[in-house]
Structure 1
Amino acid sequence: MAIKAVVFDVGECLVDETREYGTWADWLGVPRHTFVAQFGAVIAQGMDYRETFQVFRPGFDLYEERERRAEAGKPEWFGEDDLYPDVRPALAQLRAGGLWLAIAGNQTVRAGGLLRELFTADVDLIGTSDDWGASKPDPTFFERVAEVVPAEPGEILYVGDRLDNDVLPALAAGMRAALIRRGPWGWIQQYDPAAGRATFRIDSLSELPELIAKVNAGAN
């Protein structure tokens, strides 16, 4: 079966979140390297990344703190400089190859607006967990992806940096999945035996056009 559509996760797939997590450390009044060390420890233990915040401020509510940051004039934000350098070229090449493209991840309404400012001309659809009322790895999220993408689940390639949130639930939904090795999860989870289940394991989005072309050539 050919791959007809590619759907991208956001954080550490398209967007380098280094600066954003640094601003969270600043907001908490914690040294950045200390915050990053705890963040990595939480991921390595297979815990929800939000537990990182609880270490430094018990009872921390991420949604409430996002609102407080916005009210203080320090809202969550990412822009062109936060995109990985392979993003624009890869999207252009995939689109030139006739693939249908989408962005879908666990993001807020505000982040969805930022994504539309950055990518409306580059992809066919942008959806977020806040838009859909379902967050990864909930199967409902991937059911929603399947509903909005004009292809069969087996013709969809979902690309993300996490085994738990991206690759495994996408495979369970009948899709193909690419695991990209970058960001905290990508590096920490790379040796998990489950990583071998990914359709593709890549270090750059620039690898996708050739890999997909090979699959599609074999499907014809």
Structure 2
Amino acid sequence: MTPTLSKTDQTQTNHRFLRPLFMSDMWPIEKRFIPQAEIDKGPFHQLPLNKLWLGLWLLFITSLTCAFNGAILSLEAMVLCAISPLLARLTALDLKHLILLDIYTLPLALIGLIYSFWSSHVTPVESFFGVVVAGFSLLILNFISEKMDKHSGIGGGDIKFCLAAGAFVGVLNLHYFFWLAFFFALLLWPVLRAYNKHISFGPALILALWSFMLFKHLL
């Protein structure tokens, strides 16, 4: 005779299954790709990571729904819906731990390159050179920063995210992306500074990409 679980046992089993996903900090697959010593305290380090991620994801989806309204089933909207959990996760990780993980930024760049083959706003050539120019620009800026301040001013995760952003916006629109990133950085700086001496630039980059993708039809 096969034993049956009571409702209480089933609830406890479900909680044990869901707890690592929603209640823990970093997921095991994330911890595999970063040394424990590199995990720092970001502006919102006191908040539960996964609750922060879910809240940000909800904000991304809400803004997407409002921006596209009747065109929610368009290719652009579906692509944004697909990458929204990645962007929300990256934002949450940077706000809590000051890291942008390669397991999210590099696949995001690949998605951007693939997306360009069907997009009406960016061609594959523009997407490819967007990756090259964005990465090269950030490397030069980081080199100058190191020479001036004797330390790295731009994180490797920020550079790799800019590669991904370049794939989505294309080389001809990179200036819009960087101006938006600068604008959001100015807005977020006093807020993030109030919570922690370490400032995460990733959220500004992510908001810049998301805003551009939502409203690029206005350009």
- Normalised by the length of structure 1, the TM-score is 0.31
Structure 1 or 2, whichever has the larger Rg, is 2
Query: Which structure is richer in relative contact order (CA contacts within 8 A, separation 6 or more)?
Result: 1
Structure with more strand by fraction: 1
- Normalised by the length of structure 2, the TM-score is 0.31
